[in-house]
């Protein structure tokens, strides 16, 4: 052997190019989903029906992305019979497609419950939800980055942020229930906020799942090998949340 | 310009075709001539007597004297005996040497030495072989120097290299996969060689033996020295003087009696036929046996 | 079967180097690697066929049931460790029956009944019985390539080995014949330990329980096939199975 077969020649080898194409698709789909979340939240927050409609129209392309990705990944699997990292990446992308679709759908759901006119009340709740949006959008961005650039560390950092989102979700729930008890006239608005807070929690969770797939693709480790299992108990039994940190709710 | 070159090439090509055709004719002519002469002169004595009667009294047909034709029983018996005996000596040795060269020495020098020795031996003039055997036996037991036995020994010396070389070729044609298949079944080396490889190479080996026998049948020089002159009376023992067709051709052809000369031509024709039959047989055997073994 | 510090040479060239490998019993172990990495040499050391090549030499040991095969009579070793070759090599001068009964006939004096029984059993084991049962006396060469290979498998099984070695058994066959033999291998492992050399990774993945990856004469990785193909431990292994070799 004259050359070291492992030396990085800088040239694409094996299925590098094909895997790259698959990842690019996923990145584009993620960007689309991120946009739907961002615009869906803002439409809901500002009560902008026109903006909401625009988000609703983006569902079709999202479905198309989902189908195309699935098709491309299956084609790669059956035609190339990949192994090791290529196999893990493809299998991971197949599942991540579902999660990205979920994320986009949740933005869609937020747009769907938009009612006209922004809410002037409950600034504390509104700013909490805005914070959740900021974190969640950042998480989506982070998970796409990790996938795009094979960054395991970036993916790992998602889990603590998910914990924060969970805490904020509980906080929001408590705020909403307290307000419902105070002022039943705000029911319609608060019902929407309840759903939106839950949507944010789900989005964060899905972003984490995509991160898990990135970690699996690059290291072969599955979630149970690096994250301890925790038990969730109903919020009701937990009582009020401590100000910061503490057990995962 | 172009036309010239093209025409020249065509003429050259045609010319060569004519020349090579002439060469073929040139080869065929002597063969045809020999066959023609032999058939003509030997055919006159070809009848039942040829195979049943012994050598007649020398006699030349003159006015009023009819000569006995006689027959070639003795030379024929002698030739058969010689061929059988020399085969008995040469075939085991030849096959053994071939097996050694191919199976046990493989690529090593000793294998090539066997081949070289066989080649040199095949180049030894047959008369030298005869002289060699003479010298050997004279020392051992002078009384049996002129006998069928010593004749067959000399023929064996001539046959051995032929048998060795053809067997070696035949064994080498057996693909290694056969040997490996047998060894992989836990069959011992020598059983593999004898019962499987040799059997596979049998067509080639039989051909080789037939060719060697054909050669031996026609050799005259050593017999002239070693057989003595036992053609006139029926064969006695192996250690006694013997006779063979080639020997008789010499004796009869140089005789002054016409009937003996005729018989010599008869022997020549017989010999030619024998060699023809053996050659065709060896060809057919190779073909037929090989095909039967392949299951066709 | 256990291989200990095995090295093999052709003249001065070292073909395999210090191989240490435990081959699991009654399972299929595949040996993969690029051309010239020593896979065939390794497998031929397991039945002591390597040393029949002129100028070949072996260092180290191969243990079967605790006995060092290199301290026993090679001919006896080869009756316990059988082999099937890349190109089917039935004895062309023999019938189907005689081919399969060859290990019996050449290694002992079997009765007709014994031979009948073994031929039947072996041809059934090799999934060939149904196709040839009315013509066991016809020439072995009258069979198709895939059938001839199954005949060779039957013949090897007739010797009643403990281990069956297969050196790229499907390379010379068409896909349907290949599929039949792969299926056969799946059944054989119930009774025999199978070691298969293959240059076709998908075949290794389909057929084997364990996989060993050889490169330049050295054993790089060995483990359950699923693990080797999903998450190989060595970078070299991963490079090979993802086709990224330079």
Q: How far is CA A170 from the centre of its chain?
A: 18
ipTM over 0.85: yes
Chain C nearest C-alpha distance from B182 (Å): 8
Contact criterion met (CB < 8 Å) for C140 and B186: no
What does pLDDT average to over chain A? 88
In degrees rounded to 5, what are phi and psi of residue B136?
A: -65, -50
* Chain A residue whose CA is closest to C202: A81
Residues in C closer than 8 angstroms to A87, CB to CB, are 229-230
In degrees rounded to 5, what are phi and psi of residue B62?
A: -125, 180
Structure tokens at A158: 């998602």
C2-10 and C13-22 beta bridge pairing: antiparallel
Residues in B closer than 8 angstroms to C54, CB to CB, are 106-108
* Chain C residue whose CA is closest to B177: C89
Residue B227: per-residue pLDDT = 84
CATH, domain range C2-91+164-241 = 3.40.50.300
Closest residue by Cα to residue B222 from B165, B160, B149, B271: B149
Q: Over the stretch B243-263, which tens digit does the pLDDT of each residue have?
A: 888 888 888 888 877 778 888
Q: Which of C48, C93, C95, C107 to mutate to test the interface with B (most CBs of B within 10 A)?
A: C93
Greater confidence, B122 or A134? A134
Closest residue by Cα to residue C82 from C8, C25, C30, C159: C159
d(CA B155, CA B165): 16
Chain C nearest C-alpha distance from B201 (Å): 10
Q: Which chains touch C (3 or more CB pairs under 8 A)?
A: A, B
Structure tokens at A175: 């705020």
Mean pLDDT of A199-203: 96
Please name the member of C54, C89, C93 whose beta carbon is closest to the beta carbon of B181: C89
- Residue A6 above 70 pLDDT? no
Q: How far is CA B31 from the centre of its chain?
A: 18
* Chain C residue whose CA is closest to A82: C242
Contact criterion met (CB < 8 Å) for C246 and A85: no
- Residue C113 above 60 pLDDT? yes
d(CA B292, CA B202): 12
d(CA C39, CA C60): 16
Topology adopted by domain A16-225+233-238: Methane Monooxygenase Hydroxylase; Chain G, domain 1 (1.20.58)
Contact criterion met (CB < 8 Å) for C202 and A81: yes
Long-range contacts of A114-119 (CB under 8 A, 24+ apart): A114/A43, A114/A44, A114/A47, A114/A48, A114/A49, A114/A51, A114/A52, A115/A47, A115/A188, A115/A189, A115/A192, A116/A47, A116/A49, A117/A47, A118/A45, A118/A46, A118/A47, A119/A47, A119/A189
Mean pLDDT of C147-163: 94
Residue C97 at interface with chain B, using a CB cutoff of 8 Å: no
Q: Over the stretch B167-205, which tens digit does the pLDDT of each residue have?
A: 988 998 888 899 999 999 999 988 888 888 888 888 888
Chains A and B touch (3+ CB pairs under 8 A): no
Residue A7: per-residue pLDDT = 62
Delimit the domains of chain A by residue range. 16-225+233-238
Residue A78 at interface with chain C, using a CB cutoff of 8 Å: no
d(CA C18, CA A59): 61
Contact criterion met (CB < 8 Å) for B185 and C102: yes
d(CA A24, CA A230): 34
Q: Over the stretch B206-223, which tens digit does the pLDDT of each residue have?
A: 888 998 998 888 888 888
**For B91, how many CA atoms within 13 A lie in the half-sphere containing its CB?**
17
d(CA B182, CA B173): 16
pLDDT class of A248 with cuts at 50, 70, 90? very low
Look at A198-212, B48-62, C34-48, C184-198 and tell me which has the smallest mean pLDDT. Answer: B48-62
d(CA A98, CA A66): 7
Greater confidence, B63 or C100? C100
Closest residue by Cα to residue A30 from A107, A104, A109: A104
CB-based contact C156:B185 (threshold 8 Å): yes
d(CA C228, CA A63): 36
- Residue A196 above 60 pLDDT? yes
C28-32 and C193-197 beta bridge pairing: parallel
User: How many CB atoms neighbour CB C106 within 10 A?
Assistant: 17
Residues in A closer than 8 angstroms to C230, CB to CB, are 83-84, 87-88, 220
Q: How far is CA A113 from the centre of its chain?
A: 20
H/E element, C26: none
For chain B, the residues whose C-beta falls within 8 A of a C-beta of chain C are 106-108, 175, 177-178, 180-189, 191, 195-196, 199-200, 293-295
User: How many CB atoms neighbour CB A158 within 10 A?
Assistant: 24
* Chain C residue whose CA is closest to B203: C93
3-state secondary structure of A59: helix
Q: Over the stretch C157-179, which tens digit does the pLDDT of each residue have?
A: 999 999 999 999 999 899 988 99
- Residue A239 above 70 pLDDT? no
* Chain A residue whose CA is closest to C235: A6
Q: In sequence order, what are the beta bridge partners of B65?
A: B62
Name the region of B53 (left: φ>0; alpha: ψ -120 to 50; beta: rest).
Answer: beta
pLDDT class of A249 with cuts at 50, 70, 90? very low
Chain C nearest C-alpha distance from B97 (Å): 19
* Chain C residue whose CA is closest to A10: C246
What Cα–Cα distance (Å) separates residue A94 from each residue in A151, A153, B284?
A: 19, 22, 70
d(CA A150, CA A130): 30
- Degrees, nearest 5: CA angle B191-B195-B199: 150
Percent of chain C surpassing pLDDT 70:
100
User: How many CB atoms neighbour CB A46 within 10 A?
Assistant: 15
Contact criterion met (CB < 8 Å) for C231 and A5: no
What is chain A's alpha carbon radius of gyration, rounded to the nearest angstrom? Answer: 21
User: What letter does residue A15 receive in the DSSP assignment?
Assistant: T
Cβ-Cβ contacts under 8 Å for C219 (sequence gap 6 or more): C19, C20, C21, C212, C213
Contact criterion met (CB < 8 Å) for A84 and C242: yes
- Which C positions 43-102 lie with beta carbon below 8 A of chain A? none
H/E element, A106: helix A84-112
Please name the member of B182, B184, B186 whose beta carbon is closest to the beta carbon of C76: B186
* Chain C residue whose CA is closest to B195: C106
In degrees rounded to 5, what are phi and psi of residue B171?
A: -70, -35
d(CA A94, CA A87): 11
Structure tokens at C78: 């080869």
Percent of chain A surpassing pLDDT 70:
88
Contact criterion met (CB < 8 Å) for C54 and B106: yes
Cβ-Cβ contacts under 8 Å for A96 (sequence gap 6 or more): A26, A147, A209, A210, A213, A214
Please name the member of B178, B186, B294 whose beta carbon is closest to the beta carbon of C107: B186
Residue C201 at interface with chain A, using a CB cutoff of 8 Å: yes
Closest residue by Cα to residue B68 from B53, B80, B78, B84: B53
Helix, strand, coil percentages for chain B (3-state, nearest 5): 75, 0, 25
Contact criterion met (CB < 8 Å) for C54 and B107: yes
Chain B nearest C-alpha distance from C44 (Å): 10
Contact criterion met (CB < 8 Å) for C78 and B108: no
Residue C242 at interface with chain A, using a CB cutoff of 8 Å: yes
Residues in C closer than 8 angstroms to B184, CB to CB, are 47, 49, 78, 82-83, 85, 156
Structure tokens at A192: 């929407």
Residue A235: per-residue pLDDT = 67
A147, burial (CB in 10 Å: exposed 0-12, middle 13-18, buried 19+): buried
- Residue C80 above 50 pLDDT? yes
CB-based contact B67:B259 (threshold 8 Å): yes
Contact criterion met (CB < 8 Å) for C243 and A14: yes
d(CA C74, CA B239): 49
Mean pLDDT of B51-68: 72
Cβ-Cβ contacts under 8 Å for B57 (sequence gap 6 or more): B68
Structure tokens at B128: 């030298």
Q: String of b and e for B69-96 (b: at least 16 CB within 10 Å)?
A: bbbbbbbbbbbebbbebbbebbbeebbe
Q: In sequence order, what are the beta bridge partners of C193?
A: C163
pLDDT class of A242 with cuts at 50, 70, 90? low
Q: Over the stretch A145-193, which tens digit does the pLDDT of each residue have?
A: 999 999 999 999 999 999 999 999 999 999 888 888 888 888 888 899 9
Residue C64: per-residue pLDDT = 92
Residue A34: per-residue pLDDT = 96
* Chain B residue whose CA is closest to C46: B184
Residue B280: per-residue pLDDT = 86
Cβ-Cβ contacts under 8 Å for A159 (sequence gap 6 or more): A208, A211, A227
């Amino acid at each position: 052997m004259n050359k070291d077969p492992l030396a990085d020649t800088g040239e694409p080898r094996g299925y590098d190019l094909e895997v790259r194409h698959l990842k690019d698709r996923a990145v584009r789909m993620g960007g689309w989903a991120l946009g739907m979340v961002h615009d869906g939240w803002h439409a809901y927050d500002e009560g902008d029906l026109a903006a909401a409609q625009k988000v609703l129209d983006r569902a079709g392309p999202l479905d198309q992305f989902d189908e195309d990705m699935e098709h491309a990944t299956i084609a790669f699997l059956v035609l190339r019979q990949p192994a090791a990292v290529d196999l893990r990446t493809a299998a991971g992308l197949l599942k991540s497609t579902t999660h990205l679709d979920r994320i986009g759908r949740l933005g869609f759901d937020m747009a769907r419950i938009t009612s006209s006119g922004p809410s002037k009340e409950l600034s504390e709740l509104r700013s909490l939800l805005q914070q959740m949006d900021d974190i969640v959008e950042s998480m989506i961005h982070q998970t796409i980055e990790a996938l795009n650039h094979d960054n395991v560390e970036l993916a790992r950092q998602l889990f603590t942020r998910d914990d924060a989102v969970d805490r904020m979700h509980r906080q929001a729930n408590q705020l909403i229930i307290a307000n419902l008890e105070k002022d039943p006239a705000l029911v319609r608005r608060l019902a929407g906020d309840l759903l939106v807070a839950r949507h944010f929690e789900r989005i964060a969770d899905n972003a984490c799942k995509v991160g898990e797939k990135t970690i699996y693709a690059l290291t072969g480790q599955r979630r149970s090998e690096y994250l301890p299992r925790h038990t969730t108990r109903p919020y009701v039994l937990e009582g009020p949340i401590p100000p910061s940190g503490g057990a995962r709710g | 310009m172009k036309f010239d070159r093209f025409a020249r090439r065509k003429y050259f090509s045609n010319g060569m075709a004519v020349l090579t055709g002439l060469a073929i004719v040139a080869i065929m002519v002597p063969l045809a001539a020999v066959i023609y002469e032999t058939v003509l002169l030997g055919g006159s004595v070809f009848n039942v007597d040829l195979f049943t009667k012994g050598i007649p009294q020398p006699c030349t047909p003159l006015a009023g004297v009819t000569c006995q034709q006689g027959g070639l029983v003795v030379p024929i018996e002698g030739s058969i005996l010689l061929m059988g005996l020399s085969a008995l000596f040469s075939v085991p040795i030849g096959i053994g040497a071939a097996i050694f060269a191919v199976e046990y020495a493989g690529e090593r020098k000793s294998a090539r030495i066997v081949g070289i020795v066989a080649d040199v031996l095949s180049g030894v003039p047959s008369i030298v072989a005869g002289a060699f055997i003479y010298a050997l036996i004279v020392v051992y037991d002078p009384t049996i120097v002129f006998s069928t036995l010593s004749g067959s020994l000399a023929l064996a010396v001539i046959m051995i290299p032929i048998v060795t070389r053809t067997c070696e070729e035949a064994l080498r044609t057996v693909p290694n996969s056969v040997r490996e298949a047998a060894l992989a079944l836990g069959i011992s080396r020598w059983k593999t060689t004898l019962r499987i490889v040799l059997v596979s190479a049998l067509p080639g080996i039989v051909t080789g033996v037939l060719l060697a026998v054909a050669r031996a049948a026609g050799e005259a020089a050593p017999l002239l020295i070693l057989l003595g002159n036992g053609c006139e009376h029926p064969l006695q023992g192996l250690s006694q003087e013997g006779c063979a067709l080639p020997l008789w051709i010499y004796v009869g052809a140089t005789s002054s009696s016409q009937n003996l000369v005729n018989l010599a031509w008869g022997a020549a024709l017989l010999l030619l036929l024998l060699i023809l039959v053996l050659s065709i047989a060896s060809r057919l055997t190779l073909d037929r046996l090989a095909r039967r073994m392949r299951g066709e | 079967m256990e291989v200990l510090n095995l090295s093999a040479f052709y003249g001065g060239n070292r073909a395999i180097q210090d191989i240490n490998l435990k081959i699991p019993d009654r399972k299929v172990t595949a040996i993969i690697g690029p051309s010239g990495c020593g896979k065939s040499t390794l497998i031929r050391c397991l039945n002591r066929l390597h040393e029949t090549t002129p100028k070949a030499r072996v260092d180290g040991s191969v243990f079967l049931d605790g006995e060092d095969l290199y301290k026993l009579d090679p001919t006896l070793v080869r009756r316990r460790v059988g082999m099937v070759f890349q190109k089917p090599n039935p004895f062309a001068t023999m019938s189907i029956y005689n081919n399969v009964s060859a290990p019996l006939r050449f290694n002992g004096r079997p009765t007709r009944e014994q031979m009948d029984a073994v031929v039947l059993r072996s041809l059934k084991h090799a999934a060939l019985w149904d196709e040839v049962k009315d013509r066991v006396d016809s020439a072995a060469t009258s069979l198709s390539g895939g059938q001839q290979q199954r005949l060779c498998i039957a013949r090897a099984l007739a010797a009643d080995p403990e281990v069956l070695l297969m050196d790229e058994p499907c390379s010379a066959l068409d896909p349907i014949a290949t599929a039949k033999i792969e299926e056969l291998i799946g059944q054989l492992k119930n009774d025999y330990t199978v070691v298969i050399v293959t240059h076709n990774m998908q075949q290794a993945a389909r057929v084997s329980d364990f996989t060993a990856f050889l490169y330049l004469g050295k054993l790089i990785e060995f483990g359950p096939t699923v693990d080797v193909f999903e998450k190989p431990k060595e970078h070299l292994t991963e490079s090979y199975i993802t086709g990224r070799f330079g």
